[in-house]
Structure 1
Amino acid sequence: MSKSDKKREPPPAPETLPAAIVDAHTHLDACGASTATEVREVVDRAEAAGVGRVVTVADDIASAQWTVEASTWDDRVFAAVALHPTRTKDFDDSDRETLEQLVRHPRVVAVGETGLDYYWDFSPPEPQQEAFRWHIDLAKRSGKPLMIHDRDAHADILRILEEEGAPSTVVFHCFSGDAEFARACVDAGYVLSFAGTATFRNANAQGLRQAAREVPAEQMLVETDAPFLAPHPFRGRPNEPYCVNYTLRDLAELRDVEVEELAVATTATAERTFGLSRADAA
């Protein structure tokens, strides 16, 4: 098999975890699942690896409508709805009205992903910040957690949360800061969700790995952000919810705890954060 062929091959199925976990952030539609059958196939593979529930997340209005529908196809799937910050240049009243309606659905467990992205230039900072403020308000009015996308925007994210008044539950999806930023978020009561990036071994990942080592388990989630960010040693290959198994195992080793202990702890955090019940895992 050539190197390029290897990059296109999904990671192998891992050994099942000793306790079920939640993939706190994935994109089932971007993983190639468009029908109820395809969604079930993805979550069947996840469940075989010990990943019992997933939160599938929208990044535009069409995706938001699809995630809500998909969450009704399988009891293991929940939805989060918002407009991704890179798409906020043309955020209009029609989009706001649609999200207002979708967020009321009982299978929607978060407002996200919203926030700021200063890495890409698809949308200028001003409309991103305006949309972020609107989503903060939506989270507070709906009583649902705020799921944040933060890329190269740490200071402005914290500033706007303070100015607007943060919702009762805030999740930093795919946390990308160092230990110092993590401590600031933890002190504010925020929940930090770690993806495959926290397993990378390059020099740029060392600050993030230190953050993952220090965050209290009661404020820690694990996620894939699939189909992106496959964990080490499969970096660059297609990602799917079952691969959060690898991330959880790597983080348990990093934190010097048993895999089962971290699995139970992050599941409890997910259940508390998203309002999931034990019955959802049955």
Structure 2
Amino acid sequence: MSEPRPAPTRPDPLPLPVVDDHAHLDVRRDDDVAGAGEDLAAHVERLVADARAVGVDRIVQIGCDLASAEETVRLVDVHPALLGGVALHPNEAPLHAERGDLDEAYATIERLAAHPRIRVVGETGLDYYRTGEDGRDVQQESFRWHIDLAKRTGKVLQIHDRDAHDDVMRTLAEEGAPERTVLHCFSGDVTMARECVERGYYLSFAGTVTFKNARDLRDALAVVPADRVLVETDTPYLTPVPHRGAANAPMLVAHTVRTVADVLTMSVADLCRTISATAEELYGPW
């Protein structure tokens, strides 16, 4: 049995505050040695405090199944640093359809989305990696339903796109994307990045942009105007270099910020200032 990876250390503080655009603070990894023995309240408190200590003073907490969506509403009421998003993840919708309770699940998400500190409908979208052909029609239906919910409620739409670039872009064009649409953990190429910018979307980059083998992703980032760029951790997943493979945490978005600044040939301070302003424009004040 391999030894567990050591807990990541705090990165150097950023020069100005910045936002982690997408995190799942309520999700625990079995190999999260930093959080061993903590209950959920202590776990979230530590993640928020560690993030604040390095300049990550605001976080968008995402709940993408019913239990996590309910927990997200509770967390945003407890922690001023958090705003929230709720949705059925693309892989959740087929499960509800199989159980025959998809309409009830939609009703729950719509109720939770009405909370004033829930500013995001998401993550929704398409995932052709984990769901096969038999579940794709339900994913499409769910994606279209969430697009409509975001437009009806005036919330930001955050999109999950895994191995489904063409269908995600086609669906957004057919339905008409909300005015504020974010592609979470952007994974497309230069051509897709340019098309997203032309359509007015925002692109959020996760720790994957720091990986040595992610040259194509960094090339895509390089064509995105700074005021359309967001950064995220997707905590507890997609941990950036130098802690790749360990459990992620919002404080580690500082590593991603520094990589993004280098790709965009900006100072870290200017990028922090721009990302912060963009996040407040999208989500409103915390």
| TM-score, with length taken from structure 2 | 0.91
- The residue correspondences of 1:187-202 to structure 2 (distance < 5 A) are 187-202=198-213
Task: Return the alpha-carbon distance in structure 2 between the equivalents of residues 172 and 238 of structure 1.
Answer: 23
- The residue correspondences of 1:148-159 to structure 2 (distance < 5 A) are 148-159=159-170
Which residue number corresponds to residue 132 of structure 1?
143
Q: Judge conservation of contact 1:80–1:110 (CA < 8 Å) in 2.
A: yes
Q: Per-residue CA shift, 1:155-213, capped at 9, x if unaligned?
A: 111111111111111000000001110000000000000000111111xx221111112
**Deviation, structure 1 residue 36:** 3.5
Q: What letter matches 1:267 in structure 2?
A: S
Which residue number corresponds to residue 258 of structure 1?
267
**Deviation, structure 1 residue 37:** 3.7
Q: Judge conservation of contact 1:109–1:274 (CA < 8 Å) in 2.
A: yes
- The residue correspondences of 1:156-175 to structure 2 (distance < 5 A) are 156-175=167-186
Task: Return the alpha-carbon distance in structure 1 between the equivalents of residues 156 and 144 of structure 2.
Answer: 14
Q: Per-residue CA shift, 1:132-153, capped at 9, x if unaligned?
A: 0000000000100110000111
Q: What letter matches 1:15 in structure 2?
A: D
Task: Return the alpha-carbon distance in structure 2 between the equivalents of residues 214 and 227 of structure 1.
Answer: 28
Q: Judge conservation of contact 2:26–2:40 (CA < 8 Å) in 1.
A: no
* Cα distance, 1:22–1:161 mapped onto 2, change above 3 Å: same
Task: Return the alpha-carbon distance in structure 2 between the equivalents of residues 37 and 234 of structure 1.
Answer: 22
Q: What letter matches 2:156 in structure 1?
A: P
Which residue number corresponds to residue 77 of structure 2?
72
Q: Per-residue CA shift, 1:75-123, capped at 9, x if unaligned?
A: 0011100000011112411111111110010110100000000111267
**Is 1:45 aligned to 2:50, yes or no?**
yes
Task: Return the alpha-carbon distance in structure 1 between the equivalents of residues 174 and 262 of structure 2.
Answer: 38
Q: What letter matches 2:207 in structure 1?
A: G
**Deviation, structure 1 residue 12:** 1.3
Percent sequence identity is 49
Which residue number corresponds to residue 184 of structure 1?
195
Give the match's secondary structure for 1:112. Answer: strand
Match of 2:125 among 84, 95, 115: 115
Aligned length: 272
Which residue number corresponds to residue 111 of structure 2?
101
Which residue number corresponds to residue 66 of structure 2?
61
Question: Any stretches of 5+ residues in structure 1 without a counterpart?
Answer: none
Match of 2:13 among 12, 16, 21: 16
- Deviation larger for 83-92 or 130-139: 83-92
**Is 1:242 aligned to 2:251, yes or no?**
yes
